[in-house]
Amino acid sequence: LRELLLKRRAEILHALCSGGSVEHLERVIDMLLAQGELGWEDCQNVLVPGRALYSNARQLLDLVYTKGADSCELFFNAVKQVLPEALGDTFFLSGCHSTLDYKEKPQRTSTEELLTQRPDLVLKLQGCIDGALRVLVESGHFSPTDCDGIQLPIYTPSQQARRLLDHVRSKGESASLVVLQYVQQSLESESSLEQTNPKFVKYQKKLRSSVSAQSRFLSTYGGTSHMPLDDIYTEVQMELPNNSADNYKSMGFEEIIGPVGSVNDDADTVLASGEAGSGKSTWLQRLHLLWSQGKALQDFLLLFPFSCRRLNSEQRDLSVQELLFQHCCWPDRGQEEIFQFILDHPHLVLFTFDGLDELKQSFADEHRICCPSQRAPVDVLLFNLIQGSLMKGVRKVVTSRPEAVGPALKKHLHKEIHLKGFSLSGIDCFVRKHHSDPNEAAKVLESLQANTALLGLCHSPVLCWIVSQCHKELLGCGEGSLQTITDVYLMILQHFFQHHSTVKSAMGVNWLQENLGTVLHLGQLAFEGISNSSYIFSVTDMETCGVTESDICMGFLIQSKDMSLANSKCCEFLHITLQCFLAALFAILSRNTGCSAISKLFELQEMKKKRLRGTCFGACLNSTNIPNIVKEHSTMAETPNLQITATFVSGLLSQRYQKLWIQCSSSVLVEKKTKQAEKCLSKGMQQHFRSIPQPVQGEKKSMHAMPEFVWLIKCIYEMQNSRLAKDAMSKLEAEHLKLTYCNIGPVECTALAYVLQHLKNPVGIQLDNNSVGDVGVEQLLPCMHICNSLYLRNNNITDEGIHKLIDKVIHLQNFQKIALFNNRLTDACTKHFSYLLKTRQNFLSLRLGNNNITAEGAKQLAEGLKFNRSLQYLGLWGNKIGNEGAEALANALENSESIVWLSLVGNGVGSAGACAMSNIIRNSTSLEELWLTENCITRTGVESLTQALKHNHHVKSVWLKNNDLTSAEIEEMQQTDSRLVF
């Protein structure tokens, strides 16, 4: 077993830590503690606060290994309990017990019981921390300060439970007894609910099993096979704005609904936003499933799931009661009682609304209602529920695309989290889960590694699913041939046709022509749906577009589970992006759609500006041939679907695909549509450039790109039209491109580089606050030769990304500045910067604030600095370089004639470091500003700086706020030199 532990070490570590959350590790430790296998001291040695999760996990593995085979066995069993699927069945030896065997021990004291029942207690206490703390305070065991320490919002509910248990242990036997009795009582009161209110409990069971039935399988597999969500679910990355420390790790549902990152404590609605295909519905489905299985959110006795897509078809006015019971779960008995229970216990109830962007009406909070029995149109009910005038206290979780979230909605949000798709390890994990054959998975992953543009696309779960689903086509089509999103969707189109092809041999080159009927029927349905914000189609809708049974069987459409249309057979597309893709195919291939339909797709922004009302592009269809589902006006929320459709149109009209259309449509018409799309894109870009304001005197001409700019760039990339890119870029005169907060991920980086590489003059590229990541950095490399400054603050970049970047820019003389504040860099990146500094004698600015650089990293940087004659700005704010690091830097910069600005704010620098800094002040001829705020410098350090300043007239200020100085010292020292800022 010890050997097995060694052999599988990497795998176990990955399983325990890959989600980024310490929960799995802590649960394993709970079990080992409970079994007496670990002691408290062991525990402290393993869970060292502030140390990386992986290091803690490694420590545990080492410990278990040292303790011997018995320990290893208990460890394996604990891992299996915590992560039943993570390591596969083969992992465990047949002799291993699969359930946890607590060591038999007569239990004498409550304190001992607290320990042996720890895993269980952690679970039970999570939902009732408040109550447990209350009884501990009432019984005099805890002070309010004890409670505050336990309930710090940085802790997840399970961590709070553990802290509570640890604290109780230190308070002795009677405190332990209080906790055990409290937990026992709450369990009893739960079962007494069953006795006093049997109808409620029956309803709860019915609701639970209906939620479970709806959420157990993933719908994208509906057409082909059933995939249990439990088997395929892969954690997605999340970003909690205003809480950069936790960004990109995945959070548990308790944490998401809890107080961490709250922007409005009065509000009850948590919003999860993300692009189409980023995994919002699946994430919500997971929430439903875990609740129904009793694995999460057990504080909520009832959970009501709604789909906004389905609510669209509710024409009647409803009361809240009718909404809950008719759209979610019907109580067989005691409706009034059950509803009264909901009204009386709002905090025990959770509502979820999936896809707010798909609701026909945009969010508005004008029409207020507050009486739960009042009937109103469903959208009005929904908006009142979200903003809390109805059913205050009931928690709501809403998902939406970002475009549909305006300020009116934002002010009613408890918090907003952004779903960011899969991480690199998430992609890996998903592909392995998707393929039961490990060799197949390995091949898919290998081909993704070989094609980073495609790997970038796979951060989006829907694309990752397609790529995995089409692995045969993927492996058959040759490396690097899949580049664009359109390529991937054409692949799935072909895949579905292949799957249903009656001729079992490979499909002919005319595969599209052979299936043209289906494409046109489904395309028309999709196209009309997009233009009318319809995502669910009745039998009549399908008949009108000529959709036949065999078209439906192809797998693009799945049966809709619309409750209010229970009797009719309604369908929806597997995913909204697939609907957009088929709509785009229709726009190109249908002889009844002309060029005007194409230009309408690209003219959105202008349309919005002019506030044109009326049908958007439905009017462009030839109305004699295509019956129009009448639409009153277009809402902002549908813009994204039109934009996705336009992106696909651009891709499909690429020269690379012209041959495919020859047999399927009029080539003259397709040619015309191509010209039209090119014209629209080029006009769109010019319009954007015209809006660049004249620079303020002394500043660079700067363009702040709007999200539409990124969309236009993506269209040009999809088209793979470098002439268009060149033309557009020749007209851009800005010296600085600002693309902050534009939702730029690896895919957008690929497109940006494709277009920006044609710029005439070097520019600064500012991409702060996006999700570029390492893959995105790699995608940007082709345009680095025209980049003089690269700003990538807060972008989830690691040392790996930096390595690739520096390998490229080391040879590019234009590249002079880089800002990487708040990424995931460690000492491992500093050797690359050091190399850059040594090699490039015109490099000006290096900012590495808020990363994880220690003294070792600073020493590496110093090595490079010794040989550099050009660097003017060096920012290391918020790292951990300490005195040793500061001394190394000072040593390297002592005689610098270039450094102007140096920041070591918040680096644990003490007086020794400050004394070293004095040497730079003394000898450097260039330094103007030195930032030493938030360190631990004492009087000795400041005196040394003061002495040095006496001989220096270049330095303008030395910042020393928040150091270890008394106010008397500050007052005194302020007198000595006015350049010292305290």
Residues that bind ligand ADP (CB under 6 A): 218, 220, 232-234, 236, 274, 276-282, 430, 461-462, 465, 575-576
What are the residues facing 351 on neighbouring strands?
Answer: 304, 396
**Minimum gap (Å) between residue 280 Cβ and ligand ADP:** 4
What are the φ and ψ backbone dihedral angles of 958, each rounded to 5 degrees? -125, 115
Query: What's the CA gap between 739 and 842, in Å, rounded?
Result: 26
Give the strand order in the sheet containing 349-354. 238-239, 413-419, 269-273, 395-400, 349-354, 302-307
- According to the 3-state scheme, what is the secondary structure of 170-206? HHCHHHHHHHHHHHHHHHHHHHHHHHHCHHHHHHHHH
**Minimum gap (Å) between residue 274 Cβ and ligand ADP:** 5
Cβ proximity to ligand ADP, 284 vs 871, nearer residue: 284
Half-sphere exposure of 575 (CA within 13 A, CB side): 24
Query: What's the CA gap between 203 and 304, in Å, rounded?
Result: 12
Cβ proximity to ligand ADP, 282 vs 483, nearer residue: 282
Cβ proximity to ligand ADP, 430 vs 581, nearer residue: 430
Residue 489 has what DSSP assignment? H
Contact 897, 924 (CB under 8 A): yes
Query: What's the CA gap between 314 and 562, in Å, rounded?
Result: 10
DSSP, collapsed to helix, strand or coil, labels residue 139 as: coil
DSSP, collapsed to helix, strand or coil, labels residue 789 as: strand
- Chain-centroid distance of CA 437 in Å reads 29
Query: What's the CA gap between 627 and 494, in Å, rounded?
Result: 28
**Minimum gap (Å) between residue 458 Cβ and ligand ADP:** 11
Residue 786 has what DSSP assignment? G
583 is written with which tokens? Answer: 């709509």
Half-sphere exposure of 392 (CA within 13 A, CB side): 8
Cβ proximity to ligand ADP, 146 vs 235, nearer residue: 235
Query: What's the CA gap between 231 and 651, in Å, rounded?
Result: 34
Give the list of residues 6+ apart from residue 712 with CB closer than 8 angstroms, or none.
681, 684, 685, 688
Contact 747, 485 (CB under 8 A): yes
**Minimum gap (Å) between residue 198 Cβ and ligand ADP:** 37
Q: Are strands 571-573 and 557-559 parallel, antiparallel or unpaired?
A: antiparallel
Query: What's the CA gap between 163 and 447, in Å, rounded?
Result: 46
Longest dimension (CA), the chain: 92
User: Of 592, 238, 276, 604, which Cα lies nearest the Cα of 423?
Assistant: 238
Give the list of residues 6+ apart from residue 965 with CB closer than 8 angstroms, or none.
937, 938, 939, 942, 973, 982
Cβ proximity to ligand ADP, 578 vs 899, nearer residue: 578
The Cα-based distances of 600 to 278, 339, 456, 605, 642 in angstroms read 27, 48, 30, 10, 9
Query: What's the CA gap between 874 and 867, in Å, rounded?
Result: 15
What are the φ and ψ backbone dihedral angles of 415, each rounded to 5 degrees? -165, 165
Alpha helices in 279-350 (DSSP H): 280-292, 308-311, 320-327, 335-344
Give the list of residues 6+ apart from residue 523 with CB closer than 8 angstroms, or none.
582, 583, 585, 586, 587, 589, 590
Contact 358, 378 (CB under 8 A): no
Query: What's the CA gap between 239 and 635, in Å, rounded?
Result: 27
In 10 A of CB 910, how many CB atoms? 18
Query: What's the CA gap between 533 and 322, in Å, rounded?
Result: 25
240 is written with which tokens? Answer: 């909690």
**Residue 502 amino acid letter:** T
174 is written with which tokens? Answer: 């009677």
Chain residue whose CB lies nearest ligand ADP: 279
